[in-house]
Structure 1
């Protein structure tokens, strides 16, 4: 396991879900050495009504995860790469050198007799479950970045529900692409602060609008999609702290 883990919210089969994933595992291991994808599904004892984990069960689930992940790492044969929580289940995902991982799960869960569980595995030498299910999409990465900025504001005592001017920045490969995006900004009520033509061929635009940090996901996902559709890249936001 790497030190680069993060989590994000999404829908899985139209149900609220939360994924916690090792973003750096493929940089630190040869995935060809672990061609078997395996899962351990644990049925939660006290899930929330929406199927996510409850605060009452938090400590038990974290301890269970720690036990199983550390035991897997000690074997050297299994890699713990992430988990999904939804529909009253917590699913742990592993990549293995062999199909004997089912025996490992059975031994690991002996310490947790109060939990029902099931396991399974299949060949997945391309790590498709990791890349197509666990790994964040570009929009998920944008939400993760938003959360990091909002968490920083909260640590500074910010009232994130207070409207204020929020600055944004985007880059484009041509002036024409930028102009298309600027038309979208005008329709959405943004004010263009400045445009610059960089020497490296990037065409930049800085713009702002009054919004609330606690509602920033909807704002930035719209900007992300509009910039992408114009051939460019939305590059983030910033604002002053409101105490």
Structure 2
């Protein structure tokens, strides 16, 4: 399994939530469903959440230490996989998928013996379809796009880019459901000030094209733009495939 983690924000039952999840697991999820059919959780009440119910900087070191202790215990007792963490509404919840539960209490005792001052609850239940991973932790296509947007913005910042300066931003799309609405889509994009560039084709032979417009790549600007494009393209049988731009310094 290729293990790598992603972090993003979403709205969860009316509250902002920080979601961290093991994205690498999704590549082997069918195998893991069979091996680890039980979802388990450790839910911790934060002592000093910030005004948004999220983890404060003062409490962060202790919660991260608890996370490490839980991970070490999981390895020691070999009971499953750590798949993600949710921080929201004054709580942090660590989620696992386990093969069996006969030593669940041993796992907890080893991991949490140093955290008696915290209010902690735990539990587990059968989840053979991995619904908690796929519906709670795993991002929707729009959430995935926001993750990618912020990665590109972060890279631009490391190159001393001024994200507030407008420049040509190039986008790509592919016609996932046929290109019957291609001409209509081009008219829509043209009306929004986009310029159509070259036609493209991916490795599976699916066709599409590149298009661009002068915009600012700052975080909330590019988020608003790409979410709009996702909806527009979906209405016309196409799928959005990301953006790129050049570095522009002050």
TM-score (norm 1): 0.91
Deviations along 1:37-60, whole A, 9 cap, x unmatched?
111111111111011112222222
- Cα distance, 1:102 vs structure 2: 4.2
Q: Output the CA distance in 2 between the equivalents of 1:25 and 1:199.
A: 24
- Cα distance, 1:198 vs structure 2: 8.5
RMSD over aligned Cα atoms: 2.2
Unpaired segments ≥5 residues, structure 1: none
Unpaired segments ≥5 residues, structure 2: none
Tell me if 1:154 matches 2:157: yes
Moved more, 118-127 or 173-182: 173-182
SS of equivalent residue, structure 1 residue 11:
strand
How many residue pairs match? The answer is 243
Structure 1 segment 16-31 matched on structure 2, within 5 A: 16-26=16-26, 27=28, 30-31=32-33
Moved more, 106-115 or 210-219: 106-115
Q: Output the CA distance in 2 between the equivalents of 1:88 and 1:50.
A: 8
CA contact (8 A) 1:178 1:205 kept: no
Q: Output the CA distance in 1 between the equivalents of 2:5 and 2:228.
A: 26
Distance 1:15 1:171, change over 3 A: same
Moved more, 1-10 or 64-73: 1-10
CA contact (8 A) 2:179 2:237 kept: no
- Cα distance, 1:187 vs structure 2: 3.5
Which residue number corresponds to residue 93 of structure 1? 95
Structure 1 segment 170-209 matched on structure 2, within 5 A: 170-173=173-176, 174-195=178-199, 202-209=206-213
TM-score (norm 2): 0.88
CA contact (8 A) 1:102 1:119 kept: no
- Cα distance, 1:201 vs structure 2: 5.4
